Amino acid sequence: MFQKKAQQLRKLEKVLIANRGEIAIRVIRACKEMGIIAATVYSDADADALHVRIADEAINIGQARANDSYLNVEHILNAALACGADAIHPGVGFLSENSDFDRIVSESGLKFIGPTYDVIEKLGNKSTAREIAKKAGAPIVPGSDGPLKDVEEALKLADKIGYPVMIKAVSGGGGRGIRIVETREQLEDAYESAKKEAVACFGDDSLYIEKMILGAKHIEVQILADEYGNVVHLGERDCSIQRKNQKVVEEAPCETIDSFMREKMGKAAVNIAKTAGYQNSGTVEFLMTDDKKFYFIEMNTRIQVEHTVTEMITGVDIVKEQLRIARGERLSYKQQDIIIRGHSIECRINAEDADNRFMPNCGKINMLYVPGGMGVRFEGCIYDGCEISPYYDSMIGKVIVYGKDRQEAINKMKCALGEIVVEGIKTNINFQKRIMNNQKYLDGDFNTGFIRQEMNV
């Protein structure tokens, strides 16, 4: 019986991690723990990077510019084939939500660790994703059906749904290609500038429009789905602390969500995943208003940066689950086996100058001290003497804490941020300390407008 099951599993002896930074390290660790050989790729700028040092193997895939290396499908595929990998883990950002990459990897006989390419294609297009959510019976934000044809259509729709509205890139991600439009007069400019950013960032200038939900929280639900149609959710995360639509602090669970609401949102997320034919780890993002109405905004078809806080409160290692699912294993638990306990908070540590419009900052870290203690976790890609290059995302680490309740988690985070030392480059650590001392944050009284309204930036 056992032997039969083992024979059905896909071979997963070596995984190529097609990424860099802290997420590459996170995946390398999971592979090693499971006895899987972890190979990774690196650009010329990353020859001394930590992910290269701790991987079992590392393959150079080109020059520093992401287009020549981490976004170069051919170079990455060649690396995977040359080292004899069975699968590719795409991490976050870069090619992780690129359906063509997924397809090419799969057609080469390798396993892409994530959903199938047709599902990434459907959900990566935020307009089709809205249709899927609607079909699954989940509420969506009032807005366009399909991409906008032109600015006239945008004006007409905005008049109908009422200002303020948001213009968003159909292929968007990472908070890019989004514009707030408060009045009719602003729409045309916003439309044009969103279009420009969308084509520059995503190579696709299609846009859609949504009513702007004011004063809402960003609440997202983590799901796991195997290849046999079993889907569970691991509860929600509150990621409302955002700067320019990008997450800065995340926590789980959300203070203002009770178990009834958790089940309701969880079920909506599971239904969306089932309707889409989803497999592996994914996140369904919602906006939630004060009166507890919630609206689907998008689904991220990959591991997320803030998966850590969910791991802390559920005890589930989401990256190891990704590897097991990719191997063809069934989920070994049901919804009722997922128990949420305690509270977890993550602060993203970015190499940026918080006093100067958060400009990315690079240089050498000449002194590093990473905080520790019970319930303190650090996920990073930095070490004493390492060089932060200007080519990639500015996130250099994440401090994650776990406490028996929110208050204990906040106290731990304050201690951890007080201990951490990163010298040689500018970081947002002081900015994070200010958030942890803000009364509204402490009271749990915040929404996606928090940083704009409370932090004067």
CB of 448 to Mg ion, least distance (A): 11
CA 354 – CA 361 distance, rounded (Å): 10
CA 400 to chain centre: 15
Q: Which of 387, 379, 381 lies closest to 425, judged by CA?
A: 387
30/212 with CB nearer ligand ADP: 212
61/219 with CB nearer ligand ADP: 219
CB of 174 to Mg ion, least distance (A): 8
CA 87 – CA 28 distance, rounded (Å): 13
Token pair for residue 133? 């959510």
Active site residue 302: yes
CB of 298 to Mg ion, least distance (A): 5
CA 41 – CA 74 distance, rounded (Å): 13
Token pair for residue 339? 């128990």
- Among ligand ADP, Mg ion, none, the one that 210 touches (CB under a kind-dependent 5 to 8 A) is ligand ADP
Query: Interface mask (CB under 5 A) for Mg ion, residues 246-285, using x and -?
Result: ---------------------------------------x
- Among ligand ADP, Mg ion, none, the one that 36 touches (CB under a kind-dependent 5 to 8 A) is none
CB of 417 to ligand ADP, least distance (A): 20
Question: Which of these is catalytic: 26, 243, 302, 327?
Answer: 302
Q: Which of 242, 241, 284, 239 lies closest to 265, judged by CA?
A: 284
CA 363 – CA 331 distance, rounded (Å): 44
- DSSP annotation string for 223-239: EEE-TTS-EEEEEEEEE
Q: Which residues bind ligand ADP (CB under 6 A)?
A: 92-93, 97, 141, 166, 168, 172-175, 178, 210, 212-213, 216, 218, 242, 245-247, 285, 287, 297-298, 300, 304-306, 393, 448
CA 87 – CA 390 distance, rounded (Å): 30
When CB distances to Mg ion are compared, the closest residue is 285
Query: Interface mask (CB under 5 A) for Mg ion, residues 283-322, using x and -?
Result: --x-------------------------------------
- Among Mg ion, ligand ADP, none, the one that 218 touches (CB under a kind-dependent 5 to 8 A) is ligand ADP
Inter-residue contact 44 to 363 (CB < 8 Å): no
CB of 184 to ligand ADP, least distance (A): 18
Q: What is the largest CA-CA distance in the chain?
A: 68
- Among Mg ion, ligand ADP, none, the one that 232 touches (CB under a kind-dependent 5 to 8 A) is none
CA dihedral 200, 203, 207, 212 (to 10 degrees): -60
CA 403 – CA 249 distance, rounded (Å): 16
95/284 with CB nearer Mg ion: 284
CA 23 – CA 90 distance, rounded (Å): 10
When CB distances to ligand ADP are compared, the closest residue is 173
Binding stretches for Mg ion (CB under 5 A): 285
Catalytic residue numbers read 302
